[in-house]
Structure 1
Amino acid sequence: MSHNSEDTFLLHHDPGSLIVKYLDVISIIIQKRLINTGYFLPEEKEDLIQTVCKQLIEKAPSINKNYNGSSLLITYCSSVINNLCNGMIRELKKQPVAIHQLPDYVEYDGYIVERLLVNETIDKFGKIMRLYHNKRFKLEFCLKSYFRVRLSSADYEYLAPKMQMDPARFFEIFNDLSENQKLTKNEIYNNLTIILNDLEHVNNCSDAIRKWINVKIGEVLVLLNGNPKSSCFDEETLQILLDKYFSKNSILILH
């Protein structure tokens, strides 16, 4: 019995075992369509695999009915899996992203302590970031730098192998963006321009990155506030949200 005949037999009699057999294919397609494109995070991959497997089980009768043997079953199922991934992307883009206003502040021992943002708010902001898929890292990196949110080791590990400049020079610029809270906005733009030009193999000026960041901040604020407007986010409250988004377990204290 050929491999395709074995697969067809499983489709007819034991679709669950067929899906287990195709797990590697499912994983590869999800990685390519949903993770590498930035629509979902790497840590969500296992949940995505489970979702696709569940949908394939539900679709097994339809696959059984429509598969005519003109191609390998694994090829046919790969097309079905791709369509399921495309459906997830469409659903993601349709999800509402209007976010509730930040909670009120309370006085405590002379400090203004921000109440913890509800997980729903942070999750919805994450959905907005996903909409930028392959530009997500660039946007998050620029937002962190612009709003003086400390950069992470993951940011460094993503960028370092892609840099063509001297590693010591890159480390100096990266560390300056991450740790030097006295940087002016122009110095931030200059540092970002050096890194992004190297990353994207372009030769933009710092004014170009300034304009790009301003446009993206405007877009994010529109998405946060909703249409019709249901929240009142501005740059100040966006910075608070970013602090919470990138360090979920901390409590931000404002002086």
Structure 2
Amino acid sequence: MSYQNILSETDNGITTITINRPSKLNALNRETIQELHTAFKEADESLETKVIIVTGSGEKAFVAGADISEFADFSVAKGGNLAAKGQELLFDFVANLTTPVIAAVNGFALGGGLELAMAAHFRIASDNAKMGLPEVSLGVIPGYGGTQRLPQLVGKGRAMEMIMTAGMIDANQALQYGLVNQVTTPDALIETTEKIAGKIMRNSSVAIKSAIKAINANYEDGVNGFNVEIEEFGNCFGTEDFKEGTQAFLNKRKANFPGK
């Protein structure tokens, strides 16, 4: 499928989705959010895709934020609908995909950009990356999950400081906070992320889906994550991947998972 604002390419089991609005520092407008939803959905449903990488075009920005011109004159009702629709279409959608999603954060990841990176299952950053949630400087708060996911990743106190000051942190500070998993050079960012994707692809995709579901359950209100873990653990015993994995281990050979 052709897109106006993004690129999507699949190679060797990895689908790379690139926000491609460099003249706007890859800012998220409604059209881009809809295109990202479609691309993530297609990748998640594709039998070819084992890992999804999301990144931004160019070296200046992953995503520099939302396109403010689209909502500067919104009413209370329209503002609430904007957040609800965005979370449904993209941010919550990505967080709950059963295909692993890695954000390769290059340059600025601000506002909705950082919220998109946080919706991914984990993040790798280039050493020129700058991250922040500057929404309160505009008289609004993060509305795409930022007030929820940032404390989960960095802790309540640090999240409060980052959001209240509207300041940015660099890649090394993000690493120290636990906001990103690794920091690398801009030139090595995609290569490093693809190597991690390769390690993921050597394992059972069925078990990884179950693991994502169980981990996410811990952050859902009213859901007992331990019970979800028990259920998913049991489900694994009925899969072909479990049979292959255990037999490979017992026979001291490399597993060849069928993904079923």
Q: Shorter-chain TM-score: what band?
A: under 0.3
Could you say which structure has the greater relative contact order, defined with CA pairs below 8 angstroms and 6 or more residues apart? Answer: 1
TM-score normalised over the length of structure 2: 0.23
